[in-house]
Chain A
């Protein structure tokens, strides 16, 4: 495991009286795929919003490539190489797929011709080439997820934050996108992903953090985390781990 490209240090976020994220620390080593899992409402998306700059932490620090980025606005973070996808896809609905990706590509390419060429390269990588001229709002859900990924890749990121890119896809579609994500990692992009599809988490990531009720309750290899008593209880309720173990014994 290399040096962490991203490290989150004791970050908390309050919304009024609600402590959505409570002193969370985690690290994403350069060149690896790190997963963040947890039940609904655990604070995963809030944590992502703080890493990408859409929310400011109430406490704590976020370091990226050795630099504190805690208070930088989202566009500055994007310029430094942090890209994110949105859990609820946010296409530029009135534009074509090509124009959607071009907006991202313009960050590194000033002229339109260069940006279009870069956008078409990215489209090839995620399998959207056939749909370049379609309006974004005509895409199916899997198409929109791909577009979300393509736009993020178009800014040539070093760190890619994927917020449930596999949610809502059927197993065939998942098995189409998983190799795409693997290929990105092989290309040297560091990935931090929020994911519910455990099959994908198992096959993609080497290290998993589990967030529940705003705290990191476990971390480790996917297999170790899946067997962890606290993790099972967080998902299935108090005492569930014991019952499961009991069921195995009989």
Chain B
């Protein structure tokens, strides 16, 4: 339990926020921040822990969102099982893409490009297929009841997404202390050495891809329930792929809290930029670009790495004083 203390503390503090903050704008900001953190945590499982840099996580986000929306709108399925089906569909897509790419032995930039291609193909298909509403998009009917997974109060939405983020934090935490996680990190560090130590690298990478896809798909499902509208650009656009990889890289890839911290910083900066410069198109991308350059130049292990380096420095300089 002691190891879980940081996660419990962070989640408890975040859970208390709506009791103090009642502003809809502020809560909306936090909901979107947590949504990005969740999508980013999905990327983090595969990219941060496993070193497989996907550039197309929108494929899973969009599949989750569309599955939930289409099941409700076209087949009259209840939103709760619809949500679960969305997560499941994301996981299946993860298994399919993982099987194809890892069986072919794709690594590094080849893997990144192929995942990007999958997301783009899905985006184009979604923009023409009748079942997705093609260019018009899909609108989920407003029905503010818990039974339809829609809530009158933003605070409840906030707690729902926080609960999902909490689960994703526990999954990342488990990677730090299980055999599967140790093997996944070993693959990131040196795939051949991992094979020589008996690691079935294909199966481990595939497993990571499925978990990663499911988490990011959950973010997509939540998006559909929260905004009640999706189209091909929102669901499968590169913007989602970029946000899903940017937040963990900025916050600290391969760390439990990296995506959450990264999402907070990225969203705060992009909101700040909008507030100063108005809603100029592409502004958030400029902000992301600048932050990314700064992080890569000055904190290659992300903000979490910066914090731990600072605390190491402080404790070692204290030690020196004590010894001196």
Contacts and interface: CB of A to CB of B under 8 A. Distances in A.
B195 A92 contact: no
Contact of B192 (A90, A94, A95): A90
Contacts of B199: 75, 103, 107
A103 B178 CA distance: 10
A112 B178 contact: yes
On chain A, which size bracket covers the interface?
20 to 34
B177 interface: yes
Interface stretch (B71-79, B179-187, B217-225): B179-187
Given A52-B196, A83-B196, 19 more contacts: A74-B196, A75-B195, A75-B201, A78-B195, A83-B197, A86-B193, A90-B190, A90-B193, A91-B189, A92-B186, A93-B189, A93-B190, A99-B185, A106-B179, A107-B198, A112-B177, A112-B179, A151-B197, A152-B196
A112 B192 contact: no
B182 A106 contact: yes
Contacts of B177: 112
A74 B195 contact: yes
Interface in B170-218: 177-179, 182-183, 185-186, 189-190, 192-201
Contacts of A78: 195-198
Contacts of A83: 196-197
B309 to A, nearest CB: 13
Nearest to A81: B198
Closest 7 CB pairs of A and B: A78-B198, A92-B189, A90-B193, A107-B198, A74-B195, A103-B186, A104-B197
Contacts of A86: 192-193, 196
Given A75-B200, A75-B201, A79-B198, A106 B192 contact: no
A83 to B, nearest CB: 7
A71 to B, nearest CB: 15
Contacts of A103: 182-183, 185-186, 194, 197, 199
Interface string A145-157: 0000001101100
Contacts, number: 77
A156 to B, nearest CB: 10
Interface of A: 52-54, 73-75, 78-79, 83-84, 86, 90-95, 99, 102-104, 106-107, 110-112, 115, 151-152, 154-155
On chain B, which size bracket covers the interface? 10 to 19
B201 to A, nearest CB: 7
Given A110-B179, A112-B179, A92 B185 contact: yes
B255 to A, nearest CB: 12
Contacts of B193: 86, 90-92, 151
Interface string B300-321: 0000000000000000000000
22 contacts: A53-B195, A54-B195, A74-B195, A75-B198, A78-B195, A78-B196, A78-B197, A83-B197, A86-B192, A86-B193, A90-B196, A91-B190, A91-B193, A92-B189, A92-B193, A92-B194, A95-B189, A103-B197, A104-B198, A106-B183, A112-B177, A115-B179
